[in-house]
Amino acid sequence: MCFHLFSMLLMDSSTKISFNRCIRDGDLIIVYERHDTMKAVKVCENSILQNRFGVFKHSDWIGKPFGSKVFSNKGGFVYLLAPTPELWTLVLSHRTQILYIADISFVIMYLEVVPGCLVLESGTGSGSLTTSFARAVAPTGHVYTFDFHEQRAASAREDFERTGINTLITVGVRDIQGEGFPDQFFGLADSVFLDLPQPWLAIPSARNMLKQDGTLCSFSPCIEQVQRSCEILRSGFTDIRTFEILLRTYEVHEWKMDHSKVDDGNSTACPPRKRRQPSREASVGDNASSPVIMARPSAETRGHTGYLTFARKSLNFHC
């Protein structure tokens, strides 16, 4: 589904990434080695990719559709995937701390970002959230993102060109905390997102940029930042809410059970699990060992990332 949505990003067919076409020389692709090992690679006809699975010639990739399984000189294989916002978030260069999928999906839903929206963002950072905003507003909306750091803004601009979404995003260099958003957006923004060390300084400007009933979100790692922001949000905003998104992942494995050693569920042959009564059809001659699927929480589950504070511009507020 994500592949289909991202293919609608650009209206210019000469530059858009379409997953209905084949890979071409110069394309940016995601090379999938395993679930925790992926990398972004620019396809160059005379280049190779070398990893633990062998040597892969880029020339063998050209002409294949996205999602293809390709083999190395040693018989190892990788998958060639398109750079969706989800995959790009996992492989992009971390110039700053980024938002991940759990926070991103929540932000887009609560900010009510849909095709045609005008979204203002500060700061751009590594561009993880910006990329997802672009897909959400496509094909007729636009994202204006600002960062005070000139080099960081330039790097983000290059990334958006590489992933083919630059026509939906305008990157500006501006200190939003000190200067506020440009006056040209006064009363035009559907949504505003703030990822700033002192978001309360930018909230009055963000409020002026929003349409009546527009939505704002501020991301902050510390609860003290949230408290101060909420004090400012009481003027001109309503429906103020703060969330912390904690994602718990599970690992699924197949275990070999030796039923001859199971004793009233107290066997050490496998992790604790609920006992399951044998089916009436089971026969005495069944194998003594059989595979059992077990699930347990991941030992490397990501914890706190930050707090998301949402607010809606009051209908009766006048600048």
319 residues of the chain, pLDDT tens digit each: 333 333 333 444 433 434 567 898 988 899 999 888 899 898 999 999 999 999 999 999 999 999 999 999 999 999 999 888 888 888 887 777 778 888 999 999 999 999 999 999 999 988 889 999 999 999 999 999 999 999 999 999 988 888 888 999 999 999 999 999 999 999 999 999 999 999 999 999 999 999 999 999 999 999 999 999 999 999 999 999 999 998 888 888 888 766 555 555 554 445 555 444 544 544 444 555 678 888 888 777 667 789 999 999 998 766 6
Counting runs of H as helices and runs of E as strands, what totals does the chain give? 8, 15
What DSSP string describes 64-126? PBTTEEEE-TTS-EEEEE---HHHHHHHS--SS----HHHHHHHHHHTT--TT-EEEEE--TT
In angstroms, the CA 142 to CA 178 distance is 24
In angstroms, the CA 136 to CA 115 distance is 6
Identify whether the C-beta of residue 225 lies closer than 8 Å to the C-beta of residue 195: no
Q: Is 69 exposed, middle or buried (0-12, 13-18, 19+ CB in 10 A)?
A: exposed
In angstroms, the CA 17 to CA 7 distance is 6
Quick check: bond before 265 cis, omega within 30?
no
What DSSP state is assigned to residue 135? H
pTM of the model: 0.75
